[in-house]
Amino acid sequence: MRQRRLPGSQVAPIIESMSSQPRKILLGVTGGIAAYKSPDLVRRLIDRGAEVQVVMSRGAQQFVTALTFQAVSGKPVRDDLWDEAGEAAMGHIELARWADEILIAPATADFIAKLTHGFAEDLLTTLCLATSAPITIAPAMNRQMWANPATQANVRTLKERGVRVLGPASGEQACGEVGVGRMLEPTEIAAEVFTTRGAVGPLQGLKVVVTAGPTREKIDPVRFISNRSSGKMGYAVAEAAREAGAHVVLVSGPVQIPTPLGVERVDVESAEQMLSAVQSNVAGADIFIAAAAVSDYRCREVACEKIKKTSDTLNLALARAPDVLATVSRNESRPFLVGFAAETEHVERNALTKLINKKLDMIAANKVGDGLAFDKDDNALTVYWQDGKRELSLTSKAALARQLVELIAERYHARGEPQNHNPTPALTAAHAR
């Protein structure tokens, strides 16, 4: 089994840095029309497992109410440096220390200028001066304001100081003009905020191949056999792996989900096409995560023309479809293998059987059916490996994927080291029967 390991001195710090604790993000909202997107950004960050505290400038309150942000974040909004209750114990310093990251979205030209020159005239600018947390800004303004030499000089200065600048994008603006200045979409900002920054991510430098979604097996030119997989879990895993620093190739069945930023996507339809795409991309991969719901059977013969309704019954002869995960497992130089087991009954027994029979390194199992998992935005998993298991409780698929990827990274780097935690039932031949 091939393995690319970091030097021993680097492994422990990486594993120790991984945590399932919520990321504490202070979201600053300034006075631009793009502020209407910021409540959605709060939800996107929370979906990824973050705890979000909103701080609004006076101008932002002309576009969106504080009540809106309180409703989506679950926290009272802070907006006043002179709030007697909030500042009784130097609340602005407490907030500055609380945040793991400060994100300003939208960041207007005015705010960027104040941040560059060290103004501390309100709560938000004061927090930015008083924090040791990294700062990210998502600019949003008229195209001429963005192109102005003063703004460009300010942005260059902030970048030199380590401030991360996301965007802006090009497109139609609220003023009717078209050009660079639009704030990135909330999904894009959330993805970038959770991308490893500064430190080495737990999957930094590794190649990860992920499969996602269902496959379709043709019956005739207009009909097919498939399943209820939406692809949401697999796409979340691909995005989480990319955030952890990996180069990610996503082999996807037919789904209606946008490609995660920075992820290389290969579209397929059938199990045979998925196997071919995986085999083409898994060479040189360090980790293979098989999250797709691949069809177990396909039609023995596919009709060349649409089958007409000529009788009350129709018999279809089915044959086994290619087993993508089992095939990769038999490769002479195989990556670290992670399977999924979606079961309606005997979840642990069936998962352990699959773990043994397909010689996997890990398997993530969950119960499906009766409204569970498929087509849902949340999920729960029990992850098994040779000498242990871990429960990942019900949460959004985005947050769950980050926890799963952290665990995969931990197990990948710890291979070959003695393990003595959360032992599974003995993995014997009894599980494989």
- C-alpha span between 281 and 208 (Å, rounded): 9
pLDDT of 64-97, one tens digit each? Answer: 999 999 999 999 999 887 665 554 444 567 888 8
CA distances 155 to 107, 147, 300, 362, Å, are 11, 11, 61, 45
Burial annotation 208-225 (CB, 10 A radius, 16+ → b, else e): bbbbbbbbbbebeeeebb
- Closest by CA to 216, choosing from 271, 172, 173, is 271
Determine phi and psi for 259, rounding to 5 degrees.
Answer: -70, 130
Determine phi and psi for 19, rounding to 5 degrees.
Answer: -150, 145
Neighbouring residues of 373: CB distance < 8 A, sequence distance ≥ 6: 233, 342, 366, 367, 379
Single-letter code of the amino acid located at 359: K
CA distances 363 to 234, 291, 388, 420, Å, are 14, 10, 11, 18
Is the distance from CB of 384 to CB of 363 less than 8 angstroms?
yes
Exactly one of 128, 175, 299, 304 is catalytic; name it: 175
Assigned token pair, 56:
């609004």
Is the distance from CB of 51 to CB of 25 less than 8 angstroms?
yes
Residue 235 clears pLDDT 90, i.e. is over it: yes
Q: Please state which of the ranges 162-176, 216-230, 321-335, 361-375 shows the lowest mean pLDDT.
A: 361-375
What share of the chain in percent tops pLDDT 90?
Answer: 58
- C-alpha span between 270 and 299 (Å, rounded): 11
pLDDT of amino acid 371: 57
Active site annotation includes 175: yes
pLDDT of amino acid 8: 35
pLDDT of 295-325, one tens digit each? Answer: 989 999 999 999 999 889 989 999 999 999 9
- Closest by CA to 105, choosing from 194, 198, 33, 195, is 33
pLDDT of amino acid 154: 94
Question: What is the third-level CATH fold of 207-303+316-432?
Answer: Rossmann fold (3.40.50)
pLDDT of amino acid 87: 46
- The conformation of residue 315, written as its DSSP 8-state character, comes to -
pLDDT of amino acid 370: 65
Instruction: Please tell me which of 180-184, 203-207, 336-340 the model is most confident about, judged by mean pLDDT.
Output: 336-340
Helices 109-116 and 123-130: crossing angle in degrees, nearest 10, is: 40
pLDDT band of residue 385 (cuts 50, 70, 90) is very high
Q: Which CATH superfamily is domain 19-193 in?
A: Flavin prenyltransferase-like (3.40.50.1950)
Range list for CATH 3.40.50.1950 in the chain: 19-193
- C-alpha span between 78 and 65 (Å, rounded): 12
What share of the chain in percent tops pLDDT 70?
Answer: 86
pLDDT of 178-195, one tens digit each? Answer: 788 889 999 889 988 887
pLDDT, average across residues 157-186: 85
- C-alpha span between 72 and 69 (Å, rounded): 5
Q: What is the mean pLDDT of the chain?
A: 85
- Closest by CA to 181, choosing from 195, 162, 167, 202, is 167
- The conformation of residue 92, written as its DSSP 8-state character, comes to H
How many CB atoms within 10 Å of residue 286?
A: 19
Range list for CATH 3.40.50.10300 in the chain: 207-303+316-432
**Radius of gyration for the chain, computed over Cα atoms and rounded to the nearest angstrom:** 25
pLDDT of amino acid 44: 92
